[in-house]
Amino acid sequence: MVQFVLRLHEAQADWEDRVFTQLLQSPVMFVDETGLTVDRKNHWIHVIRCWITMCFFVTTQ
C-alpha cells in the first residue's frame, strides 16, 4: 500500500505543479474553506480556483 501511495504521489507531482502555476499566474483567484468534523476531529476542505482550474485539499489544521 505504501508503494502505491508513493507512486501516486510521484505521478501527480507534475500535475500539482501545473495547477499551482496556473492558479498563481491567474489575475483572479477564488479561495474558500469549509470546516467539518470526522471522528470528533476538525478538518478543513480548502478550495482554490481560477477560471482554468480548481484544486481541493483537506487538512486537519
C-alpha cell at 16: 500539482
Q: What is the pTM of this model?
A: 0.58
Please give the pLDDT value at position 15: 82
Please give the pLDDT value at position 48: 85
- Reported as a single tens digit per residue, the pLDDT across 3-60 is 887 888 788 888 888 888 888 888 888 889 999 898 898 888 888 888 877 777 777 7
